[in-house]
């Protein structure tokens, strides 16, 4: 927060559980009250449950509901609450965090993959509903280096990530910077793109 403000940018931190509509409205209201406007919404909140994809009994009703409440309901609530401010912006933009799992599920647990497929569908729906004042797109990262995949792959993390990199046309797996760069591009450099999901996987999905 201090690092951001040192650059001359005003920052606001607001704790919010996006699974709750009232909490999301409180967050958006705080943004309007403290900052006066909202030009961009990035829906990055997400959760999963780490288990073998074929271990169906590992997915309790509570786990299923939590994944969908955060990933799907949270995205819907955030866009709905932010829509009036984004429309007022004049060039509003939304970017949703989907996943390659929502396009071609493989090793992920079913509710996570299904929730990300819902994000892809909802991105297209909101793009139609909010046009022409607000653009709505999504990004779908493939395997992403870092803590999330470390938890998912456990002791096999380095071996499996290296194998994925070897099989990827661009020779590596995705990084957080790759995702951030694509999000910024959709916001700042693509005024005529809406309703799209951009895959960030170095070409793996075209050869696997």
Q: What pLDDT band is residue 151 in, cutting at 50, 70 and 90?
A: confident
**152 lies in a domain?**
yes
pLDDT of residue 2: 61
204 is catalytic: no
pLDDT of residue 67: 98
Evaluate if residue 4 carries a pLDDT over 80: no
| Window from 2-16, 36-50, 115-129 with minimum mean pLDDT | 2-16
CATH number at residue 179: 3.40.50.720
- What does the pLDDT average to over 189-198? 97
**109 lies in a domain?**
yes
**23 lies in a domain?**
no
In the chain, how many domains are there? 1
**113 lies in a domain?**
yes
pLDDT in tens, 159-186: 999 999 999 999 999 999 999 999 999 9
By CB atoms closer than 10 A (0-12, 13-18, 19+), residue 105 is middle
Q: What is the domain extent for residue 180?
A: 39-207
- What does the pLDDT average to over 192-202? 98
By CB atoms closer than 10 A (0-12, 13-18, 19+), residue 203 is middle
Catalytic member of 20, 112, 157, 204: 112
Q: What pLDDT band is residue 139 in, cutting at 50, 70 and 90?
A: very high
Evaluate if residue 190 carries a pLDDT over 60: yes
- Beta-bridged to residue 42, according to DSSP, are 95
**101 lies in a domain?**
yes
**54 lies in a domain?**
yes
**71 lies in a domain?**
yes
Q: pTM (2 decimals)?
A: 0.93
Q: What pLDDT band is residue 1 in, cutting at 50, 70 and 90?
A: low
Q: Which of 127, 15, 33, 115 is closest to 75 using CA atoms? A: 115
């Amino acid at each position: 927060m201090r690092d951001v403000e040192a650059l001359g940018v005003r920052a606001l931190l607001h704790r919010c559980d996006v699974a709750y509509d009232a909490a999301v409205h409180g967050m958006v209201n705080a943004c309007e009250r403290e900052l006066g406007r909202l030009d961009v919404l990035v829906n990055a909140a997400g959760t999963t449950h780490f288990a073998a994809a074929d271990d169906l009994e590992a997915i309790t009703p509570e786990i299923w509901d939590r994944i969908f409440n955060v990933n799907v309901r949270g995205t819907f609530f955030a866009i709905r609450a932010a829509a009036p401010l984004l429309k007022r912006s004049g060039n509003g933009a939304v970017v949703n965090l989907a996943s390659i799992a929502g396009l071609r599920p493989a090793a992920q647990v079913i509710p996570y993959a299904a929730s990300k497929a819902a994000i892809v569908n909802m991105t297209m729906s909101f793009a139609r509903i909010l046009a022409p004042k607000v653009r709505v797109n999504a990004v779908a990262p493939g395997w992403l280096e870092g803590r999330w995949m470390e938890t998912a792959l456990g002791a096999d993390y380095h071996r499996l990530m290296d194998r994925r990199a070897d099989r990827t046309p661009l020779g590596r797996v995705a990084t957080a910077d790759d995702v951030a760069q694509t999000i910024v591009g959709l916001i700042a450099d693509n005024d005529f793109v809406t309703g799209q999901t951009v895959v960030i996987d170095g070409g793996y999905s075209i050869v696997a």
